[in-house]
Amino acid sequence: MNLDTLPVLSLAAPSGNLAQDLGASFQHFGFALVKDHGLDSALVARGWELTRAFFAQGEADKRRWHIAGGGGQRGYTPFRTEIAKGAAHHDLKEFWHVGRELAAGDPLAATMPANVWPDAPEDFRETFTALYAEFDRIGAEILSHIAVRLGLAPDWFDPAIAGGNSILRLLHYPPIPGETGGAIRAGAHEDINLITLLLGAEEAGLELLTRDGRWIPASPPRGALVVNIGDMLQRLTNHVLPSTTHRVRNPDGTRAAHSRYSMPFFLHLRSDFAIRTLPGCVSAENPDRYPVPITADEYLHERLREIGLKV
Ligand SMILES: O=C(O)CCC(=O)C(=O)O
Ligand SMILES: [Fe+2]
């Protein structure tokens, strides 16, 4: 494999090859670029339209949907709130979080707060509830290929993610007055969840840290997904699949003065799932790093405290 360029993989490829190719890209980069993913394109287009319209509203309007003390898990989180673990400066972004819609009385509501929905723009709730379901579906498909690569049954992840605490994030990095490129819009970090499916990275700026310590761009073709491994899957696989550090840097030149919009779906385990190292990922050369299991919910809250979203 070319050590510096992420291959573009088609989700429509025969499944045996795909498990190998996705697995190789994840093992080497912790990232994969995925086209032909089958996300409903009209719905995605509508999602972008509403994302732009939401963030174009005045600060006071948006702040009505900020939940003080909510750990940024739902609704609106203002500019410069989140900070990467160990970073000196807050990220130059604002975002909106959509969680799973639960039926009344669902016991999962104990660890998954209810969604809040803005009164404008119109169709926000319908559109993002539908997009959430689309990401959930494609994410499960990608996980089934990962399962095969790990020597597990293709449906191994299904019960682990049924009712999972996944989050759809709508991100806006506003233009920075006077900035000519290079400002760090999102500090170097790893994602907390199992895998992340991201749309919008054709606007330059997303970079990942290679194993030998160089930043390289993640530049997907238009409409393709950038998929990356998060800390929960790294832990479950005893680091066989690495959760790779990434950041968003303001691009140089004329794009520096533009907004960046992106849409990551953080695919999470069920809150009560116990993350126990997969036996197939333990060997003499790679002894079990996590002999004590932890539930997905405990793990999440430990991490949210570290990134300034929870006290
Ligand atoms: O905006 C992007 O391209 C990346 C966002 C990201 O890494 C995150 O929100 O965790
Ligand atoms: Fe990230």
pLDDT in tens, 282-298: 999 999 999 999 999 99
To test the pocket of ligand 1, the residue of 206, 226, 265 to mutate (highest count of ligand atoms within 8 Å of its CB) is 206
Distance, CA 266 to ligand 2 centroid (Å)? Answer: 9
Q: Report the pLDDT value the prediction gives residue 70, as an integer from 0 to 100.
A: 79
pLDDT tier, 69 (very low <50, low <70, confident <90, very high otherwise) = confident
Overall average pLDDT of the 26-41 stretch: 97
Q: Report the pLDDT value the prediction gives residue 177, as an integer from 0 to 100.
A: 77
Which residues fall within 8 angstroms of residue 167, CB to CB, at 6 or more apart? 73, 97, 98, 99, 193, 265, 266, 268
Overall average pLDDT of the 207-230 stretch: 96
Q: Report the pLDDT value the prediction gives residue 124, as an integer from 0 to 100.
A: 98
Which numbered atom of ligand 1 lies nearest the CA of 191? 10
Considering every ligand atom shown, identify the ligand nearest to the alpha carbon of residue 200 and give its number. Answer: 1
Q: Report the pLDDT value the prediction gives residue 10, as an integer from 0 to 100.
A: 98
Distance, CA 105 to ligand 2 centroid (Å)? Answer: 32
Integer Cα distance of 266 and 309 in angstroms:
16
DSSP-derived secondary structure for the chain: --SSSPPEEETTS-HHHHHHHHHHHHHHHSEEEEES----HHHHHHHHHHHHHHHTS-HHHHHTT--TTSTT-SEEE-TT----TT-SS--S-EEEEE-----TT-GGGGTSPPP---S-STTHHHHHHHHHHHHHHHHHHHHHHHHHHTTS-TTTTHHHHTT---EEEEEEE---TT--S--EEEEEE--SSSEEEEE-TTSS-EEEE-TTS-EEE--PPTTPEEEEE-HHHHHHTTTSS----EEEEPPSGGGGGS-EEEEEEEE---TT-EE---GGG--SSS--S--S-EEHHHHHHHHHHHTTS--
Cα-based torsion angle of the residue sequence 53, 59, 60, 61 in order, rounded to the nearest 10 degrees: 10
pTM given for the model: 0.96
Q: Report the pLDDT value the prediction gives residue 85, as an integer from 0 to 100.
A: 83
List the domains of the chain with CATH numbers: 8-306 (2.60.120.330)
Q: Report the pLDDT value the prediction gives residue 176, as an integer from 0 to 100.
A: 80
Distance, CA 227 to ligand 2 centroid (Å)? Answer: 10
ipTM, 2 decimals? 0.99
pLDDT in tens, 87-104: 888 889 999 999 999 999
